[in-house]
Structure 1
Amino acid sequence: MEDRFAGCLLGLAIGDALGMPFEGMPAQTIYERYGLVTEFISGHGLAPGQYTDDTKMMLCLAESIVERGRVAPEDIAHRFVNWFDGGDLRGIGHTCAESILNLKRGIPWRESGRRGKWAAGNGTAMRIAPVGLLDCHDLERLSQDCWATSVITHHNSEAVAGATAVAYAIARLVTGDLDVEGLLTDTVAFVGDSEVARNLEVAQELLSANTPTGEALAHLGTSGYVVETVASALYCFLRTPTDFLSTVSSAVMGGGDTDTTAAIAGAISGAHNGVANIPGRLVQQVEDSGTLQDLGRAVYRLAKCRGDNQHGPTP
C-alpha cells in the first residue's frame, strides 16, 4: 500500500511532465506532429521531465500535510503565496493567480477564491491527490478537506465536486477497497448532484459501449473546465487500469489541457498500480522523483496512523 501512495504523487508529476509540451494543442495536431507520446520532451521553456504548476501546487498541499499532520488550509494558502512570490510559476492559471493575489492583499483563505462560472476550472482537481491519500480511511473528512483546500482558489461548487471526485477515486483505489469496475458508479454517488457527476455518467455509458479513448475524450471534453477534465482523466484510467503508460499517454493524445488531464489520470493510475508498475525510465527521468516518492510515503504513515486509531491496529 505504501508503494501506491508514492505511485500516486509520482504518477501525477509524470503525467504532468508528459503532457506539458502539448498543452493547448488539438488531438489531431499532436498525433500528426509527434505520433504516440510515450517519452518526455521539452516545451514551454521546460526541459524533458520537468513538471508544471499542477505539480507545484500539489507539492504545496503534500508538504503542508506532512508538516502539519492534517489539512491546514491557512498553511496551504501561505505556501501558495510563497510559491507565487518565488516566481517559478510554470504556467499558473488565471484563477489560481487571481486568488493568490487576493491572499497577498490580506483576504482570508475562505474568501480568497474566485467565484462564478469562470471559477469552474480544474486547478483544484489537479492538486487534490494528497487529500485523497491522507483521508483514505475517512471519507467524511475527505469531503470537508476537499472543500477547504479548493475554495482557497476556486469558490465554485463544480470545482469542489471535481476535486472531490478525484480524491474519492484515489482514496478507494489506494486502499484496494473497490473493484475498478465499480469506480465510476461509486464516485457519482459520492459526489452527488452536479455537472461533474453527470459527465461521469456519460463516461460510464461510453465505457460500457467500449468506445475508443480518443472518440470518448472528444465527446467528454478536454478543456480546462473541470467537468470535462475529471471525466476524461477517469476514462483514460478505466480503459487501461493496469497499464500506467497507456493511461497517461492516451490522456495526452486527447489534446486540450494535456498536462492536467494526464496529471490527474497519472495520479489515479499511480494510486492503483504503485511505483513498481510505472515504467522505470519515467520514474528516473521525472523531476524530483525521490522527493515525490518520499512525500507519498510520509503521507502513507500519517494515513496509516489515522486508520489504526479509527479501526485498531492490524494484527
Structure 2
Amino acid sequence: MTDELEFLSVHPFVRSIAQDKVFGTIFGSALGDAIGLYTEFLPQHEAERSYPYRKFSLVSPTTPIRSDSHRNKFERNAWTDDTDHALLIILSYLHNEGKVLPQDFAVRLQIWIDQGLRCLDRPPMGIGRLVAGVTKDPAFLESPEDVARKRWIKSGRHVAPNGSLMRTHPLGIICVGFNLEKTFWTAANMSVVTHADPRCVVACCISTALIRGILRGEVLTEADVDTILQQAYDWVEAQPELLNPGQDEELTPPEVAGLLDPKEFERYVYAQTWDDLKLDAAQQIGYVYKCLGSAILALRFGIRQTAPQFPISPDVFENIITDLIMCGGDADTNACVAGALLGCWVGYSCLPLTWANGIVYKEWLCKKTERFSRMVGIAYDNAEAVNENDPDTAPDGGKGLLSKEELDRKERDIILMILNRDKERKEEEERERQRVRGKGFGKWLKGMSSSGSGK
C-alpha cells in the first residue's frame, strides 16, 4: 500500500466504508442518469404535469416514462450517454492496468460516437454537439486537445457545456491516493480532450477533488466543500495553459482574466435553492456551471440532512435527486453528476432499492466497480482478479467493430423501435380521448334524463 492510501488502515471499518462509497459514486451517478431521463429537456412545469406524484420506480411496477420522440430512443430502465462516457474512463483504466491515458480515452470516445458501448452492445444515444464535432474532426486522434481548443476558439470562447463534467466522477476514485495537485491535473487533462473552456476544467477539478476528499474522510462539512471550490478555482486560474488554452497572444490580460469570472462562478456554486439555478432556462440548460451548481447544491442538502443521522435513510438520496430532476432542463446530466457526489456521500448502502435493484446491467456494473476498486487500491487486493483478462475492457469491447452493414441494420432497428413506440403513444392518446369523450357524453345523457323526469 502506498503512503497516500495509509488512511485505509487507520481503522478496520475505513476500508469497507470507502468501498461502499466507491459503489455509491458509480451507482449513484448511473441511477441519477437513468431517473433524470424521465424529465430531460422538459421545462419544469411540463415535468410536474407529466409526473404529478413525483415518485419514480425502476422495479415493478415501474414508473411509466413519458412517451415522446426523445425518450422513445432510449432503452428502458437504463442509463444514457453520460454514464457510458464515464464507463469509457473506467474500462480504459482497467485495460491499461491502472493508468489514466487521455489518448486511450479519446480512441474509445471516437469508437463510441460511431458504434456505441461495444461491450454491452449499446448504441450511441444522446451525443452532445461539441463532443460530436470534436471527435469527428479528422485530426482528433492525432491531437485531441488541440482539436478541442481550436473548436472552442472558433466558437468565440463562449461554449462551455457539461459534457466533460458528466464523465469525470471515476477520476475522483482513481485520485484517492494522489495529492491535490496531481488530482487537479488528472481532471484537467481528461477534460481538455474535448472541452477546453476553463469553466469546464474548473468544474471537472471540483467534482474529482470532492469525491477524492469524501473517500479520504477529508470532506466532512459544507466548509470543506467551500474550501475545495476555492482551491480548484484558484488552481485553474493560476495555470496559464488552462486559463488561456493555446496561449493566444491576441487576448489582452483583462480578456484572459475574463475567461473565468468569479462572480459567475459564485452565483452557481453558492446557490441556495433549485430555483436560483434556473435549470430549465431555454438555450442554457447544458451550461456546465448549471450542472456543477446543481451537483454542489445536492451535496449541500445531503450534508445538512445526514449530519445528525445514522444510519442514513435511503430517502435522502431519492428525495434530493427527485427534487433535482423535477426542475427539468438537462435533468439526466444534472442528476448524473449530482448522483455521483451524493452517492459518494451516503454510500451504496443508502441508495433507494426501488432504483438500484431495477437498473439494467446492474450485475455487470457491480463486477466492473468491484474490479475498479481493487485496481485503485481501495478494496482488498486480489492480484488474479485485478489482472484478469477481461475482454469487456478492450476498446472494441472484445466483440470487434461493427461493419457498415451491421451499423445500418442497427440504425434501421432503432428507427423501427422509435416508430413502434410512437405508434403506441398515439394509440394510447386516442384511447384516452375516447375515454374522456365517452365520460362527457355519459354526463350529458344523465343530465338530460334528470331534466326530463319532472318528478
Bin for the TM-score computed over the shorter chain: 0.7 to 0.9
| Structure 2 Cα separation of the partners of residues 254 and 248 of structure 1 | 10
Does residue 73 of structure 1 match 2:108? Answer: no
Closer, same or farther: CA 128–85 of 1 in aligned 2, 3 Å: same
Does residue 45 of structure 1 match 2:62? Answer: no
| Structure 1 Cα separation of the partners of residues 267 and 286 of structure 2 | 18
- Given the alignment, which residue of 136, 140, 148 partners 1:101? 136
Q: Is the 8 A contact 1:236 1:247 kept in 2?
A: yes
Compare 263-272 and 244-253 and name the one that shifted more.
244-253
Structure 1: runs of 5+ lacking an equivalent: 208-212, 309-315
Which residue of structure 2 aligns with residue 32 of structure 1?
49
Q: Is the 8 A contact 1:77 1:103 kept in 2?
A: no
Query: Mapping of 1:266-277 within 5 angstroms?
Result: 266-277=339-350
- Report which of the two has the higher share of helix: 1
| Structure 1 Cα separation of the partners of residues 279 and 141 of structure 2 | 42
Does residue 151 of structure 1 match 2:151? Answer: no
What's the offset of the Cα at 1:267? 0.5
Q: Is the 8 A contact 2:279 2:327 kept in 1?
A: no
Which residue of structure 2 aligns with residue 311 of structure 1?
none
Closer, same or farther: CA 23–284 of 1 in aligned 2, 3 Å: same
TM-score by length of 1: 0.87
Closer, same or farther: CA 89–204 of 1 in aligned 2, 3 Å: closer
Q: Is the 8 A contact 2:29 2:335 kept in 1?
A: yes
What's the offset of the Cα at 1:85? 2.2
Closer, same or farther: CA 299–199 of 1 in aligned 2, 3 Å: farther
What's the offset of the Cα at 1:197? 6.1
Does residue 215 of structure 1 match 2:275? Answer: yes
Query: Mapping of 1:193-232 within 5 angstroms?
Result: 193=234, 195=260, 198-199=263-264, 201-202=266-267, 205-207=270-272, 213-218=273-278, 223-232=285-294
Q: Is the 8 A contact 2:145 2:193 kept in 1?
A: yes
Which residue of structure 1 aligns with residue 126 of structure 2?
91
Secondary structure of 2:94's aligned partner: helix
Query: Mapping of 1:224-263 within 5 angstroms?
Result: 224-241=286-303, 242=306, 243-263=316-336
| Structure 2 Cα separation of the partners of residues 196 and 304 of structure 1 | 38
| Structure 2 Cα separation of the partners of residues 180 and 295 of structure 1 | 30
Q: Is the 8 A contact 2:268 2:290 kept in 1?
A: no
Which residue of structure 2 aligns with residue 54 of structure 1?
82
| Structure 2 Cα separation of the partners of residues 197 and 170 of structure 1 | 23
Which residue of structure 2 aligns with residue 210 of structure 1?
none
Secondary structure of 1:21's aligned partner: coil
Does residue 290 of structure 1 match 2:331? Answer: no
Aligned residues: CA RMSD:
2.6
Which residue of structure 1 aligns with residue 402 of structure 2?
none
Amino acid at match of 1:253: M
What's the offset of the Cα at 1:219? 8.0
- C-alpha distance after superposition, 1:89-146 (max 9, x if no partner): 1111001111111267643222232414354110000000111110023122211111
Secondary structure of 1:65's aligned partner: helix
What's the offset of the Cα at 1:44? 3.7
| Structure 2 Cα separation of the partners of residues 297 and 85 of structure 1 | 29
Matched residue count: 302
| Structure 1 Cα separation of the partners of residues 373 and 263 of structure 2 | 32
Amino acid at match of 1:115: W
Calculate percent identity across the aligned residue pairs: 25
Closer, same or farther: CA 301–257 of 1 in aligned 2, 3 Å: same
Compare 94-103 and 215-224 and name the one that shifted more.
215-224
Closer, same or farther: CA 191–293 of 1 in aligned 2, 3 Å: same
Closer, same or farther: CA 96–203 of 1 in aligned 2, 3 Å: closer
TM-score by length of 2: 0.61
Compare 178-187 and 69-78 and name the one that shifted more.
178-187
Structure 2: runs of 5+ lacking an equivalent: 1-17, 59-63, 66-70, 117-122, 238-259, 307-315, 382-455
| Structure 2 Cα separation of the partners of residues 154 and 206 of structure 1 | 24
Which residue of structure 2 aligns with residue 168 of structure 1?
209
Compare 143-152 and 9-18 and name the one that shifted more.
143-152
Amino acid at match of 2:210: A
Amino acid at match of 1:299: F
Q: Is the 8 A contact 2:43 2:329 kept in 1?
A: yes
| Structure 1 Cα separation of the partners of residues 289 and 21 of structure 2 | 26
Amino acid at match of 1:248: I
